Structure 1
Amino acid sequence: MFEIVTGSNKKYFDVNLKTGVLFVNERIDREEICMSNQKCSLNIEALAKNPHHLYRVEIKILDINDNAPHFPVKVFALNITENASPGERFPLPVSEDSDVGSNSLKEYKLSPNEHFSLDTQSEDQSVSAELVLNKALDREKQATIKLVLTGTDGGKPPKSGTLNIIINVMDINDNNPVFSQPLYKVKLKENVAAGTKIIKLNATDMDEGSNGEVTYLFSSHGQEKNLDTFAISPDSGEIEVKGNIDFEDKAFYEIRVEAHDKASSPMTTNCKVLIEVIDVNDNAPEIVITSLLSSLREDAKIGTAVALVTVSDKDGGMNGKVSCKLQGNLPFKLESSYKNYYSVVLEGQLDREKISKYNVTLIAVDEGTPPLSSTSVVYVDVSDVNDNPPQFNGKSISVYVKENMPPGTLIHTVSAVDRDSNENAEISYSIVDNKATSIHSVSVNSLTGQLYNLQSFNFEEQKTLSFHVQAIDAGAPPLSSNVTVNVFILDENDNSPVILPPYSDPGSVNTENIPYSAEAGYFVAKIRAVDADSGYNALLSYHISEPKGTNLFRIGSSTGEIKTKRRMSDNDLKTHPLIITVSDNGEPSLSATMSMDVVVVESLDDIKTSFREVPVKEESFSDLNVYLLIAIVSVSVIFLLSLVGLIAAKCYRTDGSFSRYSAPVISTHPDGSWSYSKSTQQYDVCFSSDTMKSDMVVFPSPFPPAEAELVSIHGEDTFTQTQTLPTTGKVSII
């Protein structure tokens, strides 16, 4: 996983992955890359992956003598008057050599002749040559002189270029224009506006008339670029800016200016203008980013490299000195590896669920006045790791379903949320419970979390169902969480009331006798019934139907007590068939019916039922009645004393158990009856009754059988019955 990363379009170097040898991949032309700069180097970055490590390599490009000196023109014509004085100088075109250092132009040589010699000057980065007249010319003897100028570089072996010089010996006009100084130096800021005047040259000619009038122009030999950048006024000698001055393109200019007089055979003199361009901070830093990772795992280790950053500035000096930093408070930092090369590395923990993408902004600022800056963004995507288990909304869920619901009914939908993404957030559901009843009663759709019942529920058999649902994701390794589902089965009115003995025997004839002398409110019978349902579905009401026109009896709607409404008359029937209906309060209401014949007899001796109340007229009291009343009171007092003793004994034995069992809820109805509602427990229930009044005392018992002993005292008889009580709902006990 080793590779070469370069910032340029051309990949000059590559590496052999087998041998590790760094080799040239594309031809290198130093003059193309660095032009005339003395120092030339290429920077490459070698990246090793798994783990990421960056190596910086600086390759210095050494110049070879692959460019020979050459002159801008092949033939140079020079007009010299025949009266030119010995020692007069004539500038020659400069030879150009693209090589640098020892391979650049070093010297000029002039072909042998008797009139001229060569004078060479080395100034700044150029070598110039001038012809020096050693011997006076005579046009009549020799009108044209041909010379050869050779420019040689310092390479090994050296290379050279030649220039053919043709000297035309001119007649008359014996004074040349003379510049005030042979060399002018000017400093000029870059980016100056076109038309800006930078210098005014001055040349004088001692001649008179047209021979003393001077005209200025740029030397056309090898100054084509200067002609596009600068312009000179032919009359005033003022040089002004014509084109764009950019320090980054060219830091100095050398301009050769000729001054001609206006004689028919003009004489010429030359000067040199050196223009130094002063850098201005007009280039903002440049940022080049090489991304190493398309995405970063949220569990990536601190120090992981994300991108390589290269910063550069075309300006020079302090204007080109750049500093780089990251913007904002992000879990990344910038490490400097080599000069203006940086690496963006991770320095903090990542959490994709909080931030899934980072825009890492880099700011590069130079030290110019005023400083310039530039920004660039590294986009880092955080890839998911399965570090979040599915989460339910709460630890438990309560579900309410009706009993008798058909199997396969949707009863609820559980839902979990996973903050991860993709397969790490794909959730499947299952029931995990050790109880076989839960597994066989409910199923869950593994994809949607929908809960279905596998069987019909029966409230009278099972009131609650609890199980666990597990949500597990598809990550590696998978993560899971559980939620407790509590299913509460709601009662439906699916049980009809059941009439209790002695009126429940099928096929039996229910008959009650009452005396003809019975007063209004005489107690005839009490109908008792129970309902296996609970709540309102078990709240019973009693109704009576009797032959039309009689209107002799009434029944307590909540007590089931049948009593007379009025006294008997001679027109009443002797036998009264009654139909009693017991209805619950459910929707729809269910009921049970029974029939009873009430027979009117003449004498009290004919009354056999021990549950009747004998109305007593105040005006017809006899001695027998007094004795009977005394006997009843005596028996009642003895029974009450016995009952109090029994209660005291039981309270003593069960002291401390009262705290473990809650007392039943006792309700009093408008008609004087009581009802209770309590879960399956054992209670000691004690009753006492006077002539028309009943009292009930309920005591909790620590023993588990759900039975109650019903004791009733009425009239002369005592009736004791053990009755199994329903585990839920309300039962009226009188």
Structure 2
Amino acid sequence: MANSARAAWMKALLLLCLWDLCSAQISYSVSEEAKKGTVVGNLAKDLNLNVQELESRMFQLVTGSNSKYFEVNRKSGLLLVNDRIDREELCESKQKCVLNVEAMIHNPHKLYRLEINILDINDNSPVFPDQTFVLEISENVLQGDRVPLKTARDMDIGVNSVKNYKINSNENFSLDVQSAAQQKVSAELVLQKSLDREKESVIRLVLTAVDGGTPPKSGTMQIVINVLDINDNSPIFMKPLYKVKVDENVSVGTKILSVSASDADEGVNSEVSYSIVSDDGDLFFINSVSGDITLKGNLDFEEHPALELIIQAQDKGHSSRKSTCKVLIEVVDVNDNAPEISVTLLMSSVSEDIKPGTDVALITVSDKDSGKNGKVDCKISAPSPFKLQSSYKNYYSLLLNEPLDREQVSQYNITVLANDEGTPSLSGSHVITVHVSDVNDNAPLFPAAVINISLKENSPVGGLLASLTSRDLDIGENALVSYSLIDTESSRVSNLMNINSHTGELYSLKSFDYENTKRLPFKVQATDSGVPPLSSNATINVFILDENDNSPVFLPPYSEPGSVNTENIPYSAEAGYFVAKVRAVDADSGYNALLSYHITEPKGTNLFRIGTSTGEIRTKRRMSDSDLKTHPLIITVSDNGEPSLSTTMSIEVVVVENLDNLQPSLRQVPVKEDNSSNLNLYLLIAIVSVSVIFLLSLIALIAAKCYGTEGGFSRSSVPVVTTHPDGSWSYSKSTQQYDVCFSSDTLKSDVVVFPSPFPPADAELISINEGDTFTRTQTLPSTGKVRRFIILNYLLKS
């Protein structure tokens, strides 16, 4: 009853001491061999946890070497015994047997340290090394002479270890039991009455070792004493107790110390031989003559911090006498054990969006040495987004310190380095591999925000326009991209285009006409397969390229197909007489819309010519009597496309004696007419005056612009004069940039004005001379577009 009260008091004192040391650690005590299901403690109450949350937050013991002995009931929060606990198997003969167990709760992660003291019970009986111990004692030994006995070993500790020895009742011997602090309990036979070999030559005793358990257990050994005659003096050691300190790393064969004993007898009875009679004698050797004790095995402080030898001195006389002494060997710890690192990963891979501060692994560092040699400092050897956080003694948590980005680093090899404080310091390392898993944090990206594509008009339906690709820095499903067209309220691009959702190949669903559509803008969206999906857009501009698919068309009054138009000229017409002017337009652009006029008349006449670019029909010479009165002309207008397209029309020129009787034609603007009316004269004067003023202004601006430069081109700001299909023209004060080119004969040539920026640096500049021939200085690009032609025609009389 007293022993039970003392154990309970010691348990309460231990818990009180550890409470202030670390709030995250709780100590319990449980007896060894406790039945499965025995309650060790109430974790929910002691850790201030809500019992209802234990199940949802997955409260559990962290897997380890000691966790198999215990389990947690999540419904009640009790810590229970789960497996048989044998203190002697776990801790052998250590005075204190402590099992460290870690408990963890999730959401958020939190680690608790449990220290469970395994209490010893009296489940082992004392055992002697031999069943029979034979002693030879001379009959003339003196009363009070002592004979040391072999001690019994009990695997239990404390009060349950060997506490007493007993011997059966006899008249010759008594038992002296010795016990001292930190020493084994030993027993010696004490002679109480002189021996008489003649009365009793052999004495048999029973030695009983009793432990302090409740109820106590015991073990016995037979002692056979052979009573000898003669030798009556025992060897005597110089000291009853020898003490020595030895480093654990001393080499085999090193001398530890020497013992010495003397015998008062003479002759052979005084010669002494030494021997080791204790259980620890396997590590040491003693010279039987000199008494020198040397090391014959390896000392290990972690296994045996202290050793006790019993040295026996025995003389060589008949019925030799013996005596013993004790040698206490203190093994001094040397830093010969490197720290050991044990790692428990809490997750197989770490998501790249995990929050800093999250535990990734649990690290336990141990060192078998003691003192400074067993103090360990743990750190990460190289910079990384992870850090170590000490939780208790040599327990650490590896937690995330910085945000992760899998696209930059997908795997971390973290080297954990542990150094002890010994001299020299020893270290241990462990590499922790942390895999970073992908999350969908990168949207697909096109090579450019705006992508331009060229498509010839009249291209066949279903043609491949381009392969649109995007790049997603994620992997797996997060990098699987699909493509789609974006329809708007103003346009339904899905009716015009089709895109392969997997490959991004863009196809046309119709054939395009440049004259109707010159640019088709729309947007394409790339979306990945992540959760949630991410997307990005690119603007696609499909530029329709012009093809020469439109023939020139004559403008009124010569626009009716199949009709023959009649023009009259006087017989007295001079060379250069204005007959008529035909005009045509082409729906195409650029070179495809650049027109030239040609005339076909009956062979041999060669009376008329036409301005290749102006379309003006004039006489080449005066009429002769041999000329016909009617001249059918076929006018052909051709564009400059590849291949060239053309249109023809017919004009019949009739030669009359006098035009006074004929209705003037609004289409005819004669250059030379002797009998013009006053109205025509005023009209002509007005036209010439306006033209001269405009021409002089234009020449002045060009001269100012081009002065000091090479070539005849400059860029000037001039008013815009636009001709219309019906022959009228309009004047605009808006200022634009033009490129102007003149021929060598300004008074007799036409002026061709190209609106800026046409033509560009590599364009073809065209000058139309009086002979209606083209002078080309550069080449127009095939895709260039002539925005507007302004042709001013001046007819000056000589």
TM range (shorter): 0.7 to 0.9
- Does 2:276 match 1:218? yes
Separation (CA, whole Å) in 2 of partners of 1:568 and 1:6: 122
Q: Pick from 108, 113, 126: which aligns with 1:51?
A: 108
Q: Pick from 426, 430, 444: which aligns with 2:499?
A: 444
Separation (CA, whole Å) in 2 of partners of 1:232 and 1:102: 34
Q: Pick from 93, 115, 127: which aligns with 2:150?
A: 93
Cα deviation for residue 104 of structure 1 reads 1.0
- Does 2:129 match 1:72? yes
Q: Which residue of 2 aligns with 1:62?
A: 119
Cα deviation for residue 367 of structure 1 reads 1.9
Q: Pick from 329, 339, 350: which aligns with 1:275?
A: 329
1:289 is aligned with what amino acid? Answer: V
For 1:337, what is the secondary structure of its paired residue? strand
Worse-matched range after superposition: 13-22 or 329-338: 329-338
Seen in structure 2, the aligned counterparts of structure 1 residues 707 and 560 have a Cα distance that, compared at 3 Å, is closer
Q: Which residue of 2 aligns with 1:138?
A: 196
- Does 2:363 match 1:309? yes
Separation (CA, whole Å) in 2 of partners of 1:213 and 1:565: 164
Q: Which residue of 1 aligns with 2:541?
A: 486
Q: Pick from 221, 229, 232: which aligns with 1:163?
A: 221
Separation (CA, whole Å) in 1 of partners of 2:769 and 2:457: 44
Separation (CA, whole Å) in 1 of partners of 2:100 and 2:466: 67
Separation (CA, whole Å) in 2 of partners of 1:117 and 1:596: 163
- Note if contact 2:126-2:211 (Cα within 8 Å) is conserved in structure 1: yes
Separation (CA, whole Å) in 1 of partners of 2:392 and 2:101: 11
- Does 2:421 match 1:367? yes
Q: Which residue of 2 aligns with 1:728?
A: none
Seen in structure 2, the aligned counterparts of structure 1 residues 635 and 538 have a Cα distance that, compared at 3 Å, is closer
- Note if contact 1:194-1:242 (Cα within 8 Å) is conserved in structure 2: yes
Alignment of 1:329-348 (within 5 A): 329-348=383-402
1:398-453 Cα shifts (integer Å, max 9, x gaps): 22222112222222333333344443433333222222343422233333333222
Worse-matched range after superposition: 13-22 or 509-518: 509-518
Worse-matched range after superposition: 350-359 or 483-492: 350-359
Q: Which residue of 2 aligns with 1:284?
A: 338
Q: Which residue of 2 aligns with 1:398?
A: 452
Separation (CA, whole Å) in 2 of partners of 1:23 and 1:272: 46
Q: Pick from 442, 461, 476: which aligns with 2:516?
A: 461
2:495 is aligned with what amino acid? Answer: H
Separation (CA, whole Å) in 1 of partners of 2:770 and 2:348: 97
2:310 is aligned with what amino acid? Answer: R
Separation (CA, whole Å) in 1 of partners of 2:618 and 2:320: 159
Q: Which residue of 1 aligns with 2:585?
A: 530
Q: Which residue of 1 aligns with 2:643?
A: 588
Separation (CA, whole Å) in 2 of partners of 1:34 and 1:161: 23
Separation (CA, whole Å) in 1 of partners of 2:645 and 2:287: 124
Separation (CA, whole Å) in 2 of partners of 1:56 and 1:690: 106
- Note if contact 1:691-1:714 (Cα within 8 Å) is conserved in structure 2: no
1:140 is aligned with what amino acid? Answer: E
For 1:31, what is the secondary structure of its paired residue? helix
For 1:342, what is the secondary structure of its paired residue? strand
1:182 is aligned with what amino acid? Answer: P
Seen in structure 2, the aligned counterparts of structure 1 residues 659 and 713 have a Cα distance that, compared at 3 Å, is closer
Q: Which residue of 1 aligns with 2:230?
A: 172
1:332-381 Cα shifts (integer Å, max 9, x gaps): 44333333323333444344444444444433222222222223344433
Cα deviation for residue 661 of structure 1 reads 6.5
For 2:122, what is the secondary structure of its paired residue? coil
Separation (CA, whole Å) in 1 of partners of 2:305 and 2:733: 105
Seen in structure 2, the aligned counterparts of structure 1 residues 559 and 191 have a Cα distance that, compared at 3 Å, is farther
TM-score, normalised with respect to structure 1: 0.79
Separation (CA, whole Å) in 1 of partners of 2:769 and 2:450: 54
Seen in structure 2, the aligned counterparts of structure 1 residues 170 and 231 have a Cα distance that, compared at 3 Å, is same
- Note if contact 1:427-1:473 (Cα within 8 Å) is conserved in structure 2: yes
1:117 is aligned with what amino acid? Answer: S
1:497 is aligned with what amino acid? Answer: P
Q: Which residue of 2 aligns with 1:185?
A: 243
- Does 2:289 match 1:231? no
- Note if contact 2:752-2:792 (Cα within 8 Å) is conserved in structure 1: no
- Note if contact 2:62-2:102 (Cα within 8 Å) is conserved in structure 1: yes
Worse-matched range after superposition: 182-191 or 635-644: 635-644
Separation (CA, whole Å) in 1 of partners of 2:204 and 2:568: 170
2:210 is aligned with what amino acid? Answer: T
Cα deviation for residue 638 of structure 1 reads 4.0
Q: Which residue of 2 aligns with 1:686?
A: none
Separation (CA, whole Å) in 2 of partners of 1:660 and 1:190: 107
Separation (CA, whole Å) in 1 of partners of 2:248 and 2:599: 120
For 2:143, what is the secondary structure of its paired residue? coil
Seen in structure 2, the aligned counterparts of structure 1 residues 711 and 258 have a Cα distance that, compared at 3 Å, is closer
Seen in structure 2, the aligned counterparts of structure 1 residues 119 and 549 have a Cα distance that, compared at 3 Å, is farther
Alignment of 1:564-603 (within 5 A): 581-593=636-648
Separation (CA, whole Å) in 2 of partners of 1:16 and 1:449: 58
1:154 is aligned with what amino acid? Answer: G
Q: Which residue of 1 aligns with 2:374?
A: 320
Seen in structure 2, the aligned counterparts of structure 1 residues 463 and 638 have a Cα distance that, compared at 3 Å, is closer
Separation (CA, whole Å) in 2 of partners of 1:319 and 1:79: 49
Q: Pick from 26, 34, 39: which aligns with 2:96?
A: 39
For 1:113, what is the secondary structure of its paired residue? coil
Cα deviation for residue 643 of structure 1 reads 7.1
For 1:193, what is the secondary structure of its paired residue? coil
Equivalent residue pairs, number:
679
Q: Which residue of 2 aligns with 1:540?
A: 595
Separation (CA, whole Å) in 1 of partners of 2:258 and 2:634: 140
For 2:372, what is the secondary structure of its paired residue? helix
Separation (CA, whole Å) in 1 of partners of 2:733 and 2:93: 106
For 2:74, what is the secondary structure of its paired residue? coil
Cα deviation for residue 8 of structure 1 reads 0.6
Seen in structure 2, the aligned counterparts of structure 1 residues 140 and 544 have a Cα distance that, compared at 3 Å, is farther
Cα deviation for residue 711 of structure 1 reads 8.0
- Note if contact 2:578-2:668 (Cα within 8 Å) is conserved in structure 1: no
Separation (CA, whole Å) in 2 of partners of 1:516 and 1:233: 162
Q: Which residue of 2 aligns with 1:732?
A: none
Q: Which residue of 2 aligns with 1:255?
A: 309
Separation (CA, whole Å) in 2 of partners of 1:110 and 1:488: 118
Q: Which residue of 2 aligns with 1:700?
A: none
2:591 is aligned with what amino acid? Answer: Y
Separation (CA, whole Å) in 2 of partners of 1:312 and 1:113: 55
Seen in structure 2, the aligned counterparts of structure 1 residues 22 and 541 have a Cα distance that, compared at 3 Å, is same
TM-score, normalised with respect to structure 2: 0.74
Separation (CA, whole Å) in 1 of partners of 2:741 and 2:157: 117
Cα deviation for residue 189 of structure 1 reads 1.2
Seen in structure 2, the aligned counterparts of structure 1 residues 315 and 152 have a Cα distance that, compared at 3 Å, is same
Separation (CA, whole Å) in 2 of partners of 1:549 and 1:283: 124
Identity across matched positions, percent: 57
1:605-657 Cα shifts (integer Å, max 9, x gaps): 9999945666xxxxxxxxx97x9899998764444446799999x999xxxx9
- Note if contact 2:580-2:668 (Cα within 8 Å) is conserved in structure 1: no
Separation (CA, whole Å) in 2 of partners of 1:178 and 1:134: 20
Cα deviation for residue 39 of structure 1 reads 1.1
- Does 2:166 match 1:109? yes
- Note if contact 2:579-2:668 (Cα within 8 Å) is conserved in structure 1: no
- Note if contact 2:754-2:789 (Cα within 8 Å) is conserved in structure 1: no
